[in-house]
């Protein structure tokens, strides 16, 4: 089919909520590169928004997908049959995580993982209040939308969940507002869509202490930060704080759709009675997705990707900070926000990146920065190649 007509059909029939979709027509993707129908090659600096941690079409992941697809695909709604990819992945996670995070409920997406975690907290605690933070993003379904950290995105969808309290990230005084009425606190240890806001000082430790003190469950949303993005398998490892519930998605599936909420066996068991089937999913933990996830974890380990994240991050930072139009580079590992002098500059910059072959993206809650979140497999030469193009876009 002719390129133009495929694009027209895309615009006509594939619903978009973006007012300005990039509409790149991708024929093939490999490593950090996207190969387009018009012959151009793009560098993917967003990883499909923090998904392609092991690069596009990593041969080991592709092989695992093929192998599992030939063996079996969907068999039965979640949790009824013993499916080896699910079991092996759950066991692998339990090995990677602290002891209290040993029971894994597989779902399909980040939103669903957080929805499940919120239901779990309500059910376990018998309480109703949920606490989240301004500038947070936890997904787009109505439960998690209730905890979205910006009224702009919620206003026209009300009524949403009642009993939600929004606090300021890094505001230690406001932690007093978490009380014995609070079922859970849902928080990203690093707020990605805020433009990569890092926890200051010992904010997460104090949050942990407060939650423990009042008996509220602490849920870490590591949908974006998990599975190596920040340089450790999970971001929470870097802050010395263990949550009661952990949620994963995005990079977790190695490029396939997969999410999970993970807790202790004791907490998780509250979803099995009164009512039984406290959370249900048909496709959660799809065997092909779980096989891909296992392969991706293997790649992260066998290629020692975590150990290289810091150096690659510093290389990006050092290069970007040489440009006078860059005000600041924030972040951890390969989740970076490059803050420019103003929004107009950022808009002009984005236009040029499309001309120069860079796939980038905005942050939902920050209109002065762009993100750098390439596959963790990016090489140092590729970092330099990307930086050269970024400077060209900033300077032209
Ligand atoms: N939590 C965080 C921190 C996210 O960044 C996202 C997606 N950007 C989600 C949850 C929602 O994930 P999904 O789009 O898979 O529902």
> Is the distance from the beta carbon of residue 111 to the nearest atom of ligand 1 less than 6 Å?
yes
Q: Dump pLDDT digits (tens) for 147-176.
A: 999 999 999 999 999 999 999 999 999 999
pTM: 0.97
> Is the distance from the beta carbon of residue 138 to the nearest atom of ligand 1 less than 6 Å?
yes
Q: Dump pLDDT digits (tens) for 56-99.
A: 999 999 999 999 999 999 999 999 999 999 999 999 999 999 99
Residue 1 has pLDDT above 60, yes or no: no
- What's the average model confidence in pLDDT over 110-120? 98
Cβ contact 291:360 at 8 Å: no
CATH fold of 60-302 = 3.40.640
> Is the distance from the beta carbon of residue 363 to the nearest atom of ligand 1 less than 6 Å?
no
- What's the average model confidence in pLDDT over 272-298? 97
Res 19: pLDDT:
87
Nearest ligand 1 atom to the CA of 139 is 11
Res 4: pLDDT:
64
Residue 286 has pLDDT above 80, yes or no: yes
Assign 114 a pLDDT band (cuts: 50, 70, 90): very high
Assign 396 a pLDDT band (cuts: 50, 70, 90): confident
Peptide bond into 275 cis (omega under 30): yes
Best residue for ligand 1 mutational test, from 17, 110, 136, 222 (most atoms within 8 Å of Cβ): 110
Residue 241 has pLDDT above 90, yes or no: yes
CA 112/CA 249 separation, integer angstroms = 9
Architecture of domain 3-53+305-395: Alpha-Beta Complex (3.90)
> Is the distance from the beta carbon of residue 139 to the nearest atom of ligand 1 less than 6 Å?
yes
The angle that helices 380-395 and 305-321 make with each other, rounded to 10 degrees, is: 30
CA–centroid distance, 110 to ligand 1, in Å, is 5
Close Cβ partners of 283 (under 8 Å, ≥ 6 residues apart): 74, 78, 108
Cβ contact 246:267 at 8 Å: no
Average pLDDT, the chain: 97
CA 362/CA 368 separation, integer angstroms = 9
> Is the distance from the beta carbon of residue 340 to the nearest atom of ligand 1 less than 6 Å?
no
Nearest ligand 1 atom to the CA of 141 is 16
Residue 3 has pLDDT above 70, yes or no: no
Cβ contact 194:366 at 8 Å: yes
Residue matched to tokens 């059909």: 9
Cβ contact 137:195 at 8 Å: no
Assign 364 a pLDDT band (cuts: 50, 70, 90): very high
Which candidate, 165, 214, 156, places its Cα nearest to that of 186? 165
CA–centroid distance, 129 to ligand 1, in Å, is 22
- % of residues, the chain, pLDDT over 90: 97
Assign 285 a pLDDT band (cuts: 50, 70, 90): very high
Assign 195 a pLDDT band (cuts: 50, 70, 90): very high
Nearest ligand 1 atom to the CA of 257 is 15
CA–centroid distance, 100 to ligand 1, in Å, is 24
CA–centroid distance, 109 to ligand 1, in Å, is 7
CA–centroid distance, 35 to ligand 1, in Å, is 26
The domain segmentation of the chain, as residue ranges, is: 3-53+305-395, 60-302
CA 249/CA 386 separation, integer angstroms = 26
Q: Dump pLDDT digits (tens) for 21-59.
A: 999 999 999 999 999 999 999 999 999 999 999 999 999
Best residue for ligand 1 mutational test, from 48, 51, 111 (most atoms within 8 Å of Cβ): 111
Residue matched to tokens 């002098």: 341
Residue 2 has pLDDT above 70, yes or no: no
CA 12/CA 334 separation, integer angstroms = 35
CA–centroid distance, 381 to ligand 1, in Å, is 30
- What's the average model confidence in pLDDT over 327-343? 97
């Amino acid at each position: 089919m002719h390129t133009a007509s495929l694009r027209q059909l895309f615009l006509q029939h594939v619903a978009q909520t973006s007012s300005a979709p990039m509409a790149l027509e991708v024929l093939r993707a490999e490593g950090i590169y996207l190969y387009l129908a018009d012959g151009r090659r793009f560098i993917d600096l967003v990883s499909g928004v923090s998904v392609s941690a092991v690069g596009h079409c990593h041969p080991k992941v592709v092989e695992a997908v093929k192998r599992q697809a030939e063996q079996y695909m969907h068999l039965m709604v979640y949790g009824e049959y013993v499916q080896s990819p699910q079991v092996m992945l759950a066991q692998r996670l339990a090995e990677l995580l602290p002891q209290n995070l040993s029971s894994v409920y597989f779902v399909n997406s980040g939103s669903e993982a957080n929805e499940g975690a919120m239901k779990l907290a309500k059910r376990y605690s018998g309480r109703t209040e949920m606490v989240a933070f301004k500038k947070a993003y936890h997904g787009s379904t109505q439960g998690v939308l209730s905890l979205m950290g910006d009224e702009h995105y919620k206003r026209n969808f009300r009524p949403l969940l009642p009993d939600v309290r929004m606090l300021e990230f890094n505001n230690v005084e406001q932690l007093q507002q978490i009380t014995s009425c609070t079922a859970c606190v849902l928080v990203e240890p690093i707020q990605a869509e805020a433009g990569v806001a890092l926890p200051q000082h010992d904010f997460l430790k104090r949050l942990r202490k407060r939650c423990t003190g009042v008996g509220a469950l602490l849920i870490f949303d590591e949908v974006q930060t998990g599975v190596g993005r920040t340089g450790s398998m999970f971001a929470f490892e870097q802050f010395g704080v263990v949550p009661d519930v952990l949620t994963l998605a995005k990079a977790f599936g190695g490029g396939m759709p997969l999410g999970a909420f993970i807790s202790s066996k004791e907490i998780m068991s509250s979803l099995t009675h009164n009512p039984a089937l406290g959370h249900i999913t048909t496709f959660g933990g799809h065997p092909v997705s779980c096989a891909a996830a296992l392969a991706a974890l293997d790649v992260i380990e066998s290629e020692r990707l975590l150990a290289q994240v810091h150096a690659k991050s510093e290389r990006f930072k050092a290069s970007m900070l040489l440009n006078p139009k860059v005000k600041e580079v924030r972040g951890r590992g390969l989740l970076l926000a490059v803050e420019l002098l103003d929004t107009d500059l950022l808009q002009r910059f984005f236009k040029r990146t499309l001309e120069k072959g860079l796939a980038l993206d905005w942050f939902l809650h920050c209109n002065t920065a762009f993100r750098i979140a390439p596959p963790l497999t990016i090489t140092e030469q590729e970092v330099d190649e990307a930086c050269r193009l970024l400077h060209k876009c900033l300077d032209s």
